[in-house]
Structure 1
Amino acid sequence: MASQQQSGPLSDADIYALQEWIAETAVGFCLYGIYATFSFIAIYFLLTRHGGDATKKARLVLLTVIIFMFINSTSLVILDLEYILVQIPLGSFNPPDIQKTTKILGNIKISGNFLERLNFLINDGIVVWRAWILFPRNWRIKLLLGFCLLACGVCNVFDAASGAVNVLKNYQAVGAGTKEFLVLTLPLLVTNIVATFLIGYKALKHRQDISHNLSTSSSGASRITMVQKILSLLVESGSIYISFWIAATFLTGFADSSKLSFQVFIASALPFLSGLYPVLIILLVALENTKDRSNEADLSLSQSIHFATRVHLSAAAETVSTTSEAESPADSVGNPRIYNQPKEDV
């Protein structure tokens, strides 16, 4: 009778792999669920809103970008899950072909790295576009933003290619390495800082212009316009998003890439946070528009209903009576008016 194989306790490497898989799967699917929910709501808002041709084109572009990023993020979460499922049989008593499995794992990781970088690049393109349209005639600002976006694109491609080379050597490699990952994080961080600073500058100038133009009106000077709200929203949300990239840069430069916190934040959280950021901006701006329209409707309704007092009614009646006495019958059918001339003394 053949002796049965005995299963001993898991090794430290196996325990760490299980912890990493559980943490990455939990964080990734949690953020993906939130991202998918807000994406569908944003798509609904973009499809139901109405406007002119200019806003229609902008909505169409945003709708296309959101759908593309959602498909990209869905593919990314599927690849992450497949990467785990393919590795599990390697720890069995009868593992599959090691060489074939290693090749599959390498291809999955390379594809995931490219999809992550694509999410980062698209999101930075949206951020740059928001700052770009605020300076339509300033070619220096456009040149600066274009250079930042070009640098992000080149560094994204370089980081993905370097990561692919490392993964082909060892499928368990973490992208392009810790220090080389700074090639990706630093340009993205600088681009977001520049774009957010320009939006903040435009918001400050707009606030100063509004305050100057409405300085003579005590009621209008304290009122915050819808443009101010949207610009402030872009600055605040951009600052929060920058904090994530500061954390990513800090972890990349000083943290150990083998630490679980690095793996979870860089591999699982950051790609979905990049996709979630523009979707939340669209929803918040849409909610501000809805709120302002509701306030304007209430204001116009309250201002359009006025009841005349008895004194006003009496004055109006006297005016109508005087006018009707001064006009001849011919005036009622459209002939030129003939006013009663004063009688001369005989």
Structure 2
Amino acid sequence: MSSSSSTGILQQQIIDAIEPPIVALAFEAGFYVLSLTSFSLSTYFLVSHKGLKTRAILAMWITTLVMFAVSTCHLALQWKYCKAAIVSQLSFLLLPDYLLSDVIVLWRVWIMWERNVKAVIFPLLLALASAVSGAIAASEGILSGWITDFTRMYGPSWVNISLLVTYASVLATNITTTVLIGVKLWQHRQLIKAHLRSGTYKNRVGNVFALLIESSIIYCIIWIVFIAVRISDGVELTDIDWYTVLSAIMVQISGIYPTAIIVLAALQNTAWDMSVGKEISQHATRTERHFATPNFRSVASTGAHEPHASGADVERGEV
């Protein structure tokens, strides 16, 4: 009787030990497919629209490639070392991915704000804070022997505090950039209304902008949930170890988000040229024809009419 009881307890312990990493691996595999798709799409848009001729585009593609490589390595390590203790040590592998993700988002917001450094100085400082705290957490983990000791599930308190500061800084950075994108969307709507003189404004560029903001908000919400689970770790609300699961998929999500930003930015420029830019151009042409009376033909013949906006103008910040 006691033998069967001991066997049952041992089996339950084995199940409890292998279940969290298996669940985490399943979740991460699903998100890896999304990461692969978003990386492929971003590469397609970068290469097909402008090619890799400029240093900025090449640097962006290399950054997304490094992030995708980190995601691939993380999945491979999850597959090879399917143990909860080892999974927790991989949190340090995620730090470069988080920082590279912030770099791409900051770069895109900087472009949206017409390369205005003052607009992005605050989120840039937050990103630097996350980089410093992440480096401190990694160095403290190495010095304490936590990273190389896979029998210890969680590191010393100061390492955990440094990690939480890093996570909070990343969250604050993305909240700030989301607000900046929202402000730019409002300015964009005012720009279109001023050109079209229309109270009913709806176009594909606005829809892409909305998707951009929605994806940013979702990313921030995921970070809030991840930090909340990290802080409340040890409180078993369900049978699933959600911190292990979220730690596994966060590296994939942090790679999906910036590549989605690249794809949406490309769609935004395309939608502008296909809809808004064309509509403003037609509006300017109708206005020119309306005022091309005999008294004003000489003025019209000189080409002195109001210039229209284009996607390139908006991208350079000339409008």
Q: Distance in 2 between matches of 1:151 and 1:278?
A: 20
**1:212 corresponds to 2:180:** no
TM-score, normalised with respect to structure 1: 0.66
Q: Which residue of 1 aligns with 2:222?
A: 244
Q: Which residue of 2 aligns with 1:161?
A: 139
**Residue type of the partner of 1:73?**
S
**Residue type of the partner of 1:260?**
D
Aligned CA RMSD, in angstroms, stands at: 3.6
Does structure 2 retain, via aligned residues, the 8 Å contact 1:42–1:283? yes
Structure 1 position 119, deviation (Å): 0.7
Q: Secondary structure at the match of 1:277?
A: helix
Q: Distance in 2 between matches of 1:197 and 1:296?
A: 24
Q: How does 1:268-287 map to 2 (within 5 A)?
A: 268-287=248-267
**1:14 corresponds to 2:14:** yes
**Residue type of the partner of 1:116?**
L
Stretches of 4+ moved more than 6 A in 1? 296-299
CA gap 1:19/1:262 in 2 versus in 1, 3 angstroms: same
1:64 to 62, 65, 77: 62
Identity of counterpart residues, as a percentage? 28
Q: Deviations over 1:83-116 (max 9, x none)?
A: 22xx69xxxxxxxxxxxxxxxx87x965x33321
1:113 to 74, 91, 98: 91
Structure 1 position 24, deviation (Å): 1.4
Q: How does 1:1-346 map to 2 (within 5 A)?
A: 8-9=7-8, 10-50=10-50, 56-84=54-82, 110=89, 112-136=90-114, 138-164=116-142, 165=144, 166-174=146-154, 180=161, 181-215=163-197, 218=198, 222-224=200-202, 228-256=206-234, 260-266=241-247, 268-290=248-270
**Greater shift in the superposed pair: 127-136 or 181-190:** 127-136
CA gap 1:64/1:168 in 2 versus in 1, 3 angstroms: closer
For structure 1, the residue ranges without an aligned partner over 5 or more in a row are 1-6, 89-104, 303-346
CA gap 1:62/1:14 in 2 versus in 1, 3 angstroms: same
Q: Deviations over 1:54-102 (max 9, x none)?
A: xx44432321111111111111111222222xx69xxxxxxxxxxxxxx
Q: Distance in 2 between matches of 1:197 and 1:223?
A: 22
If you compute each CA radius of gyration, which structure gives the higher value, 1 or 2? 1
Q: How many residues align?
A: 269
Structure 1 position 174, deviation (Å): 3.5
Q: Distance in 1 between matches of 2:39 and 2:203?
A: 27
Q: Secondary structure at the match of 1:167?
A: coil
TM-score, normalised with respect to structure 2: 0.71
Q: Distance in 2 between matches of 1:232 and 1:185?
A: 26
